[in-house]
Structure 1
């Protein structure tokens, strides 16, 4: 694996999700890793057909619109924090027919950005715990690095003796790095666990709040531009 100097290697953060709706936790995750890993670009990628989420998902085009709106607030945060990272709202999964599998996305992004770019999938600890349920999940590490943020009530559970936790522990043992610079210097194959960011927000809980206590939702939970669209379209009622 090559070790191109960080000054020339492109560093692309990938933040995928259903984004139903996108929330401030997503933005904090993007901001944190954009600064920590000196990312050139962060791509927010709404899933087209989120195959693990069941029915009742907001249509993809509306979720894309909500994510675009969240991108406006993320750009403002980057400006305020003096983070030079570019932001892209990517339609790669929405425009691709069939279920949205991460493995298809990372293969396409690797082709787009080339063999030397460091592609870094940004996620919370809950997603890492669930990784063995993803389609062709063990192949992902051959295309991307992972940057994982801790989440309250979602520790990695590596002390629990279950088959899933054992699988995740083996995965970490093989690929974990303690150095952020390693992700900047290597195109794929590494996992970095960050314990300094802990955001306790979930789209599921926010949807329930919007249904039951709509007026109590604050801008601290949902980006202001996204919240405006939710209200204007009467979503999640």
Structure 2
């Protein structure tokens, strides 16, 4: 607290939280803005998703060894479990429950581990703005009012951008619309009206297999930007849907987890 003649002024101490997109798996995906934010951060929060996904933690640790200040700290918290098998009617309530439990973890980390007006950071796979829950959960933490902080968002290279780059394609055809959606929404709603290119993320059930016989072309990628990267592309009807399903299952069995993204294209590709 500081004092001036005739009045008392209170200095507001505010913690700074960075939400940093770290790309789809290649350490070279880091932007210069991300590198600077990492260098400024005092404490990093990593969520432990179990031994199966230890690779995701190791990549973050490699990035910190390369770019974080020598005095940085890392705090690891257990990520709440979420039932990924929930049917569509129960999906929204299950996600809401999981978000509330994760918000409690975030609130505790920020309150207990960031000191005074210090800095903390969450390293987000891909881009924080695209199918990632971190920003929404931090909004919930702020709304509770028990952990005061400001936040800065640093964009990253998404798996969607990485997919297009690795296949050397654009995401849209000339003058045509493109839509980014999830496997669940594509399965429930079918092919969207007025769209010729559909990018699908978070597809645990190989929804592309429902769209054979329509003359579609697929560009598929798993573990994008990592040494385990797998790329397949071609007409979906030439047995490729079945091949991707087999390759995907084998990769998941081998590593214990899989992250894949794909583009379904209507019309003849360039």
Q: With the length of structure 2 as denominator, give the TM-score of the two structures.
A: 0.37
Task: Identify, as 1 or 2, the structure richer in helix.
Answer: 1
Give the structure, 1 or 2, with the largest relative contact order (CA under 8 Å, sep 6 or more). Answer: 1
Structure with bigger gyration radius: 2
Task: Identify, as 1 or 2, the structure richer in strand.
Answer: 2
